[in-house]
Structure 1
Amino acid sequence: MSSSPTPDFLNERQEKLAPSKLHAAQYIVALILAILFAGLWRLQVLGASGYRVLAEANRIRKVPVLAPRGRIFDREGRILVDNYPSTSCYLLREQIKDAQADLPLISAGLHIPVEQIQATIRHFQTAPAYQPIPLKQDITPDEQAFIEAHRNELPELETLDEQRRLYPRDGFAAHLIGYVGEVSEQMLDDPKYAFYEPGDVVGRSGVEQTYDSILRGQDGSRDLIVNSHGKEVGHLGQELAVPGQDLKLTIDLDIQMAAEKAMEGKIGAMVAMDPHTGEILAMVSRPTFDPNEFSGRLTRTSWNSILTNPDHPLLNKTIQAQLAPGSTFKIIMSLAGLEQGAAQNMKVDCQGGASFYGHFYHCDLHHGMVDIHNAIPLSCDTFYYTLANRLGIDTIAKYATGLGIGQKTGIDLPDEVTGTMPSVAWKMKTQHQPWYAGEVISVGIGQGAVTASPIQLARALSGIASGGVLKRPHIVFPSEISKEEQEAIAETFPGSGDKTVSISPDNWQIITDAMAQTTITGTAAASHLEGIDFVGKTGTADLVSGRTKGSKDRATIPNAWFVGMTPRRNPDIVVAVLWEHGYWGNNSAKLGAQIINAYVTKQRKLEHNIRIATVPSPVAKPATQPPASGTAPAAE
């Protein structure tokens, strides 16, 4: 009996369930299961810790707690720089859903142009996404209320309480103290600022810059629990901020205020120093600026007005002006002539000038017969032309550089200049030309190629009056900082530092006695202080060849210099005054006399135990916030 044929659907089923194909399907399923198992192992075992951190970050926000900077006091503990509480608004980029759509509302609520917000965001585009972007500092109560009322619509806005800098008003001691501001992109490229991030506030000039690492403290943080909308719902913990260290400066507020008043309305600089220690008692540079503007966001208009000011308000002229010292240099010339034995018996008949190398060099007056004893008080150019010609440039340079001219003093302030003391080698190195004998004539009266700063002249002339002992000028008491920090400061600000030059006692006496005659019968007689051993030397430094009497063109009006001290030997205070376009040096002598008189008057009151009137703090009240607790009221 023949078998019936197998139905087609049965053959098809047998073909589908063929062993080879079934095994292949099993292998594929096993491979898929292995891949899934490996993925689960990687996620749940190998990467568990990493994903746990990411999960925590989704619900925890780390908010910085900014450390208040250390306060700054004068030598008697009177406050110069304080802090005050402030609130700033930051943008959290991690919370932004549609930045462009939110900008108009943010602009209206914070009173910031949309373009400014966009520029700020672009400035921080290379910073990590988790880093908040500062949008506005010192926000008003109305602006704080706006942020709170729009938490749901604008979760990217956050407020941060911080301590902001409060500086003296009207630019009081601005160049000395300096200011703080955001670290710039150029600064971030400097290894010195390797630990800073965009948006960090750092000292940008003066004491604030030099001692930034001491003043700035260490920031802390708070861990906040936030929901999916970025709204704060709880606290986890905090790392406390460490406040910066307070600093006591060598500045005497009474002397500083006298110097500020003396230089009011003028262009130039004034510095007062204790020659025994190098402590700076006062420092003023004019014109000045308001550091409070820099501690916030300086407007473009204000910044442009500062940059285009021809009198350079940001320049600290006490340490950065490099100008011809005029006749103040004659004290150094006198020392060189006496130490070389060339000036003791030298007599010159001054008939309004003298001829050297075929050129006639003028003197302001016909002084008649002049010797070393009256050459200083009369400030006779003819005498010093002749002395310079006898000594030669290299001998003059030897004594001038020995006293620190053409070198930094090493003062603990940024950007001090060196000045210039010419010599044969100097000209060949800088100009690739030989030195001509006739060039020394102008150097003999502090003109020509020689330039100096007020701090250099104060230190050099007080060093002569102290018998050759020169001290490194400084703003902060060494006892305020550690030995390691002292060494770092000395390395950062190299200069001629503490030194002693050899001066014959006889020559020392001749020079200081002649300086005393300057304020009695000489060029500074109008600044004589009765009952005070006030000595000094004036200087009138021409800016162009010749001068026109009564000219109103500043380019033709000389700079007026004065360096004075009390007492005449081993002085307790020295003051250097530069009045740009002040014409005659006796005008600056009158300003210097004000500082000497203020100092002596105070010392006499202290000696007789007379109560000294309390000087109100010069610290200004902030425009939008009250001063921090303990701040003395500003003087009216």
Structure 2
Amino acid sequence: MELENFRREEKLPPQKLAIAQYVVAAVLLALVAGMWRLSVLGADSYRVLAEQNRVRKVPVLAPRGKIFDREGRIIVDNYPSVSCYLLREQTKNLDADMPRIAEGLHMTVDQIQAILKRYAYAPKYQPLPLKQDITPDEQAFIEAHRTELPELQTLDEQRRLYPRDGFMAHVIGYVGEVSENDLKQTRYAFYSPGDVVGKSGIEESYDEELRGQDGSRDVIVNSHGKEVGLMGQELAKPGRDLYLTIDLDLQKAAERALEGKTGAIVAMDPHTGEILAMASRPTFDPNQFAVRLSKAYWQSILDNPDHPLLNKAIQAQVAPGSTFKVIMTMAGLQENVAQNLTVSCNGGATFYGHFFGCDRHHGFVDIHNALPYSCDTYYYTLANRLGIDTMARYANSVGVGVKTGVDLPEEAAGTMPSEQWKMKVMHDKWYAGETISVGIGQGAIQATPLQMARALSGIASGGVLRRPHLVMDKELSADELSAVKQTFPGSGEKTIPLTPENWQIITDDMAGVTGPIGTAAEAHLEGVDFVGKTGTADVVSGRKKGDHNRNTIPNAWFVGMTPRRNPDIVVAVLWEHGYWGNNSAKLAAQVITAFVNKQREKAGNLVKVAAVKPQVGLGDAAPAADANSATTTPADPDAAHSPAKKDNE
């Protein structure tokens, strides 16, 4: 009886037994569901993760296309380089490894932490560029510590090799790592952090063509991250080579002429718009930007008051001085105002109650000697007759105040004032007295050397203006050429009305500038139809004669060409603080000499042009003659060339 009662007490109530059964069933169901999720639903993802534990995708960077001159001579090449990348998924405690990595790569811990902070939002599987162009001893360090530091990976790259001493730096530009600000722009939508892109010049303008398409290698790695085999690869597609319109011989001549000076020289073929040479000073070393820019070098750039990164050929916006008088001559002739205009220059004239000076007493001046003399009094009078809006219309027609459309980034448009312009920009009306200074290329007018080269060569070509460009048109398809023109809008190809009679007068007058009575007589080239126009533009209003403070010394301009009608080459020179326009004329003559001698050599003509002595400094500039001195040699008041040569010229 007692045993029966004991067994009855050991039995579980049916309710508790049912609950226990349900709990066991639920646990078994959860286990089965988990196993099914892992083995079926997550099979692919876990297979990929497992594969990644033994297979690593290593990028193969495409070499950028090389850059050549018009004759196939190489300008920009590539050289083999090794960079170090950081694989974050290969380390469990990067903070502990950081001091050792910093020491081996000759970096600081702060530098590494800054890189990690910059790429904080990048996917963890993405290799981070730790140090570019590492040295052989740094490569040896990585190989020797492959087991302890599996997070370090080396990658072979092709890195840019630019000419030395900043040669052609402003034309070529440079490459650098894409920045965070770049990645926010639409054009960089398909770029990733660490990618190398063109930052200025041709490198930026034609980055898509030059950069190529990266490939990759699927390599087998062991548990220590060491490569032990290759599963497959996708070959990189090298970037496209580009052939520029630049002629290295003329480029060298332009660079030599500008050595030690501040300014720009641009040479162009007016028939095609092909830029044959473009130099700007001071320059910079693009090789410094191609790897990791040092703070010291960047600070030296920032501290330079002459702005080495500025391409003065297309970005220096300054008053063109008396070179603008060629455009004034065209406007006066086309408006039938200048043909019968004569003035008696007694050192200046009064307009609207203000006396506007001319540095010489030129006496009787008409349209035929106004340009060679560069008589300010004549052009003051012509400007007063034409009015600012007529002057602006003709200046705009030849591209002053309008971008040329050259295929380089950040071209400046310059300024051509008008009544509408002043009201829009300054919210004030235009006063007639302001027109007088604009007539000699002073006042509110601003232009770039390329604009003036194109404007004057277009006039000398009978009114036909071509779009300046630096990449040979034959290198681009029709669609690519159209895209370039849309990317770099400007006045482009155009023809302006210019009668044959006026065309002849203007070009003959420009020939007088380099003739015996002209302001650029010292730049005359025997046996060469070398013509042009000098100009000196004051940089400080009210500058006193004899003031030699650099910041008050005028800018020296010259735009010249050969031959005088339908020229084969035009050269524009801006020498900042170069004093007189005849100084710049001598620089232009050096480039013209190189061009003519090369053409004669090709034609089998052994008669070389005698070179003009290079202008090496302001000590070579002859002082302006006093306005009251007796001389029969007229001089440009904006180019004030000496009545007699000095021993040092």
1:342 lines up with 2:333 in the alignment: no
The residue that corresponds to 1:76 in the other structure is: 71
> Once the 2 structures are TM-superposed, how far is the Cα of residue 8 of structure 1 from its aligned partner?
5.7
> Once the 2 structures are TM-superposed, how far is the Cα of residue 365 of structure 1 from its aligned partner?
0.7
1:279 lines up with 2:274 in the alignment: yes
Q: Deviations over 1:95-141 (max 9, x none)?
A: 12222221221122111122212212211112221121212222111
- Select between 218-227 and 528-537 the one with higher mean Cα deviation: 218-227
Note the 1:589-608 alignment, pairs <5 A: 589-608=585-604
The amino acid of 1:293's aligned partner reads Q
Gaps of 5+ in 2: 609-649
The residue that corresponds to 1:580 in the other structure is: 576
The amino acid of 2:550's aligned partner reads R
> Once the 2 structures are TM-superposed, how far is the Cα of residue 349 of structure 1 from its aligned partner?
0.5
The amino acid of 1:469's aligned partner reads V
Return the match for 2:328 from 326, 333, 347: 333
Distance 1:46 1:135 in 2: 38
Q: Does the CA-based 8 Å contact 2:456-2:559 persist in structure 1?
A: yes
Secondary structure, aligned partner of 1:88: strand
Q: Deviations over 1:282-315 (max 9, x none)?
A: 0000000000010010011111111221100000
Secondary structure, aligned partner of 1:102: helix
Distance 1:510 1:119 in 2: 66
1:49 lines up with 2:41 in the alignment: no
The residue that corresponds to 2:8 in the other structure is: 11
Alignment RMSD (CA, Å): 1.3
Secondary structure, aligned partner of 1:163: strand
Secondary structure, aligned partner of 2:53: helix
Secondary structure, aligned partner of 1:241: coil
Q: Does the CA-based 8 Å contact 2:219-2:228 persist in structure 1?
A: yes
Secondary structure, aligned partner of 1:256: helix
Secondary structure, aligned partner of 1:332: helix
Q: Deviations over 1:530-577 (max 9, x none)?
A: 000000000000011233444332221000000000000000000000
The amino acid of 1:13's aligned partner reads E
Distance 1:455 1:217 in 2: 31
1:205 lines up with 2:200 in the alignment: yes
1:130 lines up with 2:125 in the alignment: yes
The residue that corresponds to 2:633 in the other structure is: none
The amino acid of 2:595's aligned partner reads Y
The amino acid of 1:291's aligned partner reads P
Secondary structure, aligned partner of 1:590: helix
The residue that corresponds to 2:368 in the other structure is: 373
Gaps of 5+ in 1: 613-636
Q: Deviations over 1:429-480 (max 9, x none)?
A: 1111011110000000000111000000000000000000000000001111
1:89 lines up with 2:59 in the alignment: no
Q: Deviations over 1:569-616 (max 9, x none)?
A: 00000000000000100000000000011100000110117799xxxx
Distance 2:607 2:66 in 1: 27
> Once the 2 structures are TM-superposed, how far is the Cα of residue 164 of structure 1 from its aligned partner?
0.4
Distance 1:359 1:78 in 2: 57
The amino acid of 2:531's aligned partner reads V
- Select between 113-122 and 456-465 the one with higher mean Cα deviation: 113-122
The residue that corresponds to 1:388 in the other structure is: 383
Q: Deviations over 1:482-535 (max 9, x none)?
A: 222111111100000000000011011001000001001200000000000000
The residue that corresponds to 1:569 in the other structure is: 565
The residue that corresponds to 1:535 in the other structure is: 531
Return the match for 1:220 from 194, 197, 215: 215
The residue that corresponds to 1:307 in the other structure is: 302
Distance 1:168 1:372 in 2: 47
The amino acid of 1:546's aligned partner reads G
Distance 1:283 1:518 in 2: 24
Deviating beyond 4 angstroms after TM superposition, the runs of 4 or more aligned structure 1 residues are: 5-8, 609-612
The residue that corresponds to 2:354 in the other structure is: 359
Q: Which has the higher contact order (CA 8 A, sep 6+)?
A: 1
The residue that corresponds to 2:634 in the other structure is: none
> Once the 2 structures are TM-superposed, how far is the Cα of residue 7 of structure 1 from its aligned partner?
5.9
The residue that corresponds to 1:486 in the other structure is: 481
> Once the 2 structures are TM-superposed, how far is the Cα of residue 9 of structure 1 from its aligned partner?
3.7
Change (3 A) 1:257 1:176: same
Q: Does the CA-based 8 Å contact 2:536-2:555 persist in structure 1?
A: yes
The amino acid of 1:407's aligned partner reads V
The residue that corresponds to 1:268 in the other structure is: 263
The amino acid of 2:125's aligned partner reads Y
Return the match for 1:61 from 56, 62, 74: 56
1:155 lines up with 2:155 in the alignment: no
Secondary structure, aligned partner of 2:23: helix
Distance 1:231 1:400 in 2: 68
Matched pairs, number? 607
Note the 1:89-238 alignment, pairs <5 A: 89-238=84-233
Secondary structure, aligned partner of 1:405: coil
The residue that corresponds to 2:616 in the other structure is: none
The residue that corresponds to 2:640 in the other structure is: none
TM-score normalised by the chain length of structure 1: 0.94
Return the match for 2:251 from 231, 256, 263: 256
> Once the 2 structures are TM-superposed, how far is the Cα of residue 335 of structure 1 from its aligned partner?
0.4
1:515 lines up with 2:510 in the alignment: yes
The amino acid of 1:10's aligned partner reads R
Change (3 A) 1:611 1:27: farther
Distance 1:167 1:548 in 2: 44
Distance 1:104 1:288 in 2: 38
Question: Sequence identity of aligned pairs in percent?
Answer: 71
Distance 2:370 2:543 in 1: 22
The amino acid of 1:318's aligned partner reads A
Q: Does the CA-based 8 Å contact 2:600-2:607 persist in structure 1?
A: no
- Select between 28-37 and 437-446 the one with higher mean Cα deviation: 28-37
> Once the 2 structures are TM-superposed, how far is the Cα of residue 153 of structure 1 from its aligned partner?
1.2
Distance 1:436 1:333 in 2: 19
Return the match for 1:25 from 16, 20, 23: 20
Return the match for 2:520 from 500, 505, 524: 524
